A and B are shown apart, each in its own frame.
Chain A
Amino acid sequence: MAEVLVLVDHTAGEVRKATFELLTIARRLGEPSAVFVGEAADAAAAAGSLAAYGAEKVYVVSDPEVTAYLVAPQAEVLAQLVESASPVAVLIPSSPSGKEIAARLAVKTSSGVITDAVDVQPGGAGVETTQSVFAGSYTVKATVTKGTPIIAVKPNSAAPEEVSGAGTVEEVTVTLSDLAKSAKITEAKPKAASGRPELTEAAIVVSGGRGTAGDFGAVEAFADSLGAAVGASRAAVDAGWYPHSNQVGQTGKQVSPQLYVAAGISGAIQHRAGMQTSKTIVAVNKDEEAPIFELVDFGVVGDLFQVLPQATEAVNAAKG
Chain B
Amino acid sequence: MNIVVCVKYVPDAQSDRTFTEDNTTDRVGVDGLLSEIDEYAVEEALKIVEAGEGEVTVVTMGPEQAADAIKKALQMGADKGVHIVDDALHGSDAAATSLVLAEAVKKIGTPDLVITGMSSTDGIMSVVPAMLAERLGLPQVTFASELTVDGSTVTARRDGDTASETIVASLPALVSVTDQINEPRYPSFKGIMAAKKKPVEEWALADLGVDASLVGLDAAWTRVESFTKRPPRAKGTIVADEGDGGTQLAAFLSAQKFV
Contacts and interface: CB of A to CB of B under 8 A. Distances in A.
Interface string B113-156: 00000100111111111110111011111110100000000000
Main secondary structure of the interface of B (DSSP, over half): mixed
Contacts of A294: 233
Nearest to B99: A107
Given A137-B229, A141-B226, A298-B236, A191 B164 contact: yes
B140 A314 contact: no
Contacts of B164: 188-189, 191
A307 B130 contact: no
B247 A311 contact: yes
B130 A71 contact: yes
A204 B166 contact: no
B221 interface: yes
Main secondary structure of the interface of A (DSSP, over half): mixed
Given A300-B239, A318-B254, A184 B143 contact: no
Contact of B161 (A102, A128, A198, A293): A198
Residue of A70, A128, A244 with most partner-chain B CB within 10 A: A70
B1 interface: no
A251 B240 contact: no
Given A145-B221, A244-B145, A115 B168 contact: no
B230 A183 contact: no
Nearest to A294: B233
Interface in B23-73: 36-37
Contacts of B222: 112-114, 142-145
B185 to A, nearest CB: 16
A311 B170 CA distance: 54
Contact of A185 (B167, B239, B247, B249): B167
Given A187-B165, A189-B163, A142 B225 contact: yes
Residue of B224, B245, B251 with most partner-chain A CB within 10 A: B245
Interface residues of B, number: 84
Nearest to A140: B227
Contact of A100 (B93, B140, B170, B180): B140
A106 B127 contact: yes
B259 to A, nearest CB: 5
A84 interface: no
Contacts of B20: none
A95 B227 CA distance: 24
Interface stretch (A22-30, A33-41, A167-175, A279-287): A279-287
A112 B139 contact: no
B221 A144 contact: yes
Interface of B: 13-14, 17-19, 36-37, 93-95, 98, 118, 121-131, 133-135, 137-143, 145, 158-170, 173, 178-180, 220-230, 233-234, 236-241, 244-254, 256, 258-259
Q: What 7 A-B pairs are tightest by C-beta distance, nearest first?
A: A310-B246, A302-B241, A112-B221, A314-B250, A103-B127, A182-B139, A311-B246
6 contacts: A134-B18, A138-B229, A141-B225, A145-B221, A313-B246, A318-B250
